[in-house]
Amino acid sequence: MTDTMDSRRFASDLVIDTREISQSLAPPMCELVPCRMTRTQKSILVLLALLKFVAMGLFSVIAPYYHLEAHQRQLSDVIVGAVFTAYAGANFLTSPIFGRIIAETGPQIVLLLGSSLLGISAVSFSFLTSVSDPSTFCALSIFVRTLQGIGCGAAGTAIFTYVAEVFPRRTGIIMGVMEVMTAIGLNAGPAVGGYLHSVGGFKLPSLVLGFMCLATVPLNAFLLPRSINAENCVPKTPRTPGGRRVSKWTLLINVQFIVAALSTTAVSCASAFLSPLLAPQLSKLGMNTSQIGMMFLFSPIAYGLVGPIAGWISDENPKWRRLQTSAGLGLLCIALLLLGPSPIIERILRSGVSLSIVALCIKGLGSTIAVVPTFQIMLDTATNLGILNNLATHSMISGLWSSAWSFGEVLGPTLGTVISSSYGFGWASTVLACWSIVVYIVESTTVENNCPKKKTNLEKDEDATLNNILFVASKAAAPSSCHSVVCSGPMRADRKFPSRDENSGCF
């Protein structure tokens, strides 16, 4: 009797100690059953997409009219760029921090706090027009935009954590959808802002988007899962199958990860660069505020048409991900050269509305092709380094990806306004085109097959042996609270897990 109890206790310990190894080796539940999106998943997707649109829209909605308000107070374009940079800078600095917090608390609470802060600060920004003193107006603008950036960092990191956890087999496609919403927010934000500004002045654009953001808070609190795989059995920091704790520096010194981060930064830099500078440039062509806002729509149209396709290609052909990113960066470089137009080609092409439309369309096309695979490339790099594919890893990757994107949003307006004020818009777009082509060259030289390497017969035998051990141990062990939640591995494919979605292996 004592021997039987000892064997059961040993088997129970074996299941708990090796559960994460089985999660990293065994196929997920969505490979064992038909992979269809449930109603819950669709609701989560709609909520995340809406919040992503509002967050990015708040970054760019002030582009068509804020420079007018600043110029009335004798503020320079550099100050205008600093206001945009404050939003992105706060996002850049706080995203990795929120990634760590999500591993401890789960993504929902971070998402709710971030969206609440984002909405409240947006409403506050709308009342800055009552401040007449230039210095006070500048200081308050930067302060409120910093609060918006912190809220966006929290919400954005939580959003990408949900993407990786709730849609494990559709990460590329869902990332494509998120990037479409990012592009629509960044590029349609000025169009919405220009129209609302013409209707209700400085206050209306920020008020509308701020209340839209606050309206998502109760919906997210009611519909989104409170935690994902956050039970006590799962470590709250990234680890290897052997249990060794992994620092984010393990990824930050990896060449493949660095190149993916640089690609993300290059795309966001090119997008954010236009927010403070495109409107003044188009004004020189005789366009009014509403027309300028409409010009910002051409990039998201291209984004919307190509984004889901780019995500599908990334999911179906993992070995093409880096090649896909390289192709997108090449198109982005061409778009920036045309948008100036660059002094290099100024003798061939003259600045005009038609050329700007073509350049913006190519920019949207190149941006979505380049950036959609980058999140999955980062995640693949982590798993190839032996890091477990769990919530802690997903939250860390989400924070680092958001930080890379936000760094581009800091660099774009800052570099663009400084160069444009000294040398003109054409040279500013040329410098960013050169940055894109440098990353393109680096990306092209590191293109490799990212598909999982074929296992040797010995490795296959070891995996089969491990799965058999886990199967026997699970039968011998007494049920525990951990087993009622986890549904990874073939040995549990026939069990019911009420807290997870049976069709995709996700909550």
56 shares a domain with 137:
yes
Which percentage of the chain shows pLDDT scores above 70?
76
476 shares a domain with 340:
no
CA neighbor of 391 nearest in space, from 177, 171, 160: 160
Is 294 part of a structural domain of the chain? yes
Which percentage of the chain shows pLDDT scores above 90?
9
DSSP, collapsed to helix, strand or coil, labels residue 239 as strand
Q: Is the pLDDT of residue 84 over 90?
A: no
Mean pLDDT score, 74-92: 81
Interval 93-118: pLDDT, tens: 888 888 888 888 888 899 999 999 99
pLDDT at 210: 92
Is 159 part of a structural domain of the chain? yes
CATH number for the domain that contains residue 99: 1.20.1250.20
Is 63 part of a structural domain of the chain? yes
Is 490 part of a structural domain of the chain? yes
486 shares a domain with 397:
no
Q: Is the pLDDT of residue 29 over 60?
A: no
Q: Is the pLDDT of residue 438 over 70?
A: yes
In this prediction, residue 477 has a pLDDT band, given cuts at 50, 70 and 90, of very low
119 shares a domain with 94:
yes
CA atoms within 13 A on the CB side of 157: 36
Q: Is the pLDDT of residue 462 over 60?
A: no
Domain that holds residue 482: 461-498
138 shares a domain with 251:
yes
Is 453 part of a structural domain of the chain? no
Mean pLDDT score, 430-437: 88
- Number of independent structural domains in the chain: 2
pLDDT at 334: 92
Contact predicate 216/47, CB 8 Å = yes
480 shares a domain with 350:
no
191 shares a domain with 58:
yes
Q: Is the pLDDT of residue 25 over 60?
A: no
Q: Is the pLDDT of residue 143 over 70?
A: yes
Q: Is the pLDDT of residue 248 over 70?
A: no
488 shares a domain with 357:
no
Residues 6 or more apart whose Cβ sits within 8 Å of residue 374: 260, 261, 263, 264, 325, 401
Q: Where are the alpha helices (DSSP H) in 296-373?
A: 298-316, 321-339, 353-371
Q: Is the pLDDT of residue 497 over 60?
A: no
pLDDT at 309: 86
481 shares a domain with 366:
no
Interval 183-242: pLDDT, tens: 778 777 877 888 888 888 888 998 999 999 999 899 888 888 765 544 433 444 555 454
Mean pLDDT score, 420-438: 87
Preceding omega of 341 cis (within 30 degrees of 0): yes
Give the rounded distance of the alpha carbon of 304 from its chain centre. Answer: 16
pLDDT at 124: 93
pLDDT at 116: 94
Contact predicate 405/185, CB 8 Å = no
Interval 304-359: pLDDT, tens: 788 788 888 888 888 888 888 888 999 999 999 998 788 888 778 777 888 888 88
pLDDT at 43: 85
For the ranges 57-71, 226-240, 378-392, the one whose mean pLDDT is highest: 57-71
Task: Say which DSSP state 247 is in.
Answer: -
Which of the pair, 342 or 179, is modelled with greater confidence? 342
pLDDT at 453: 47
pLDDT at 16: 43
Is 44 part of a structural domain of the chain? yes
CA atoms within 13 A on the CB side of 201: 6
433 shares a domain with 286:
yes
pLDDT at 6: 52
Q: Is the pLDDT of residue 285 over 50?
A: yes
- Give the chain's mean pLDDT: 75
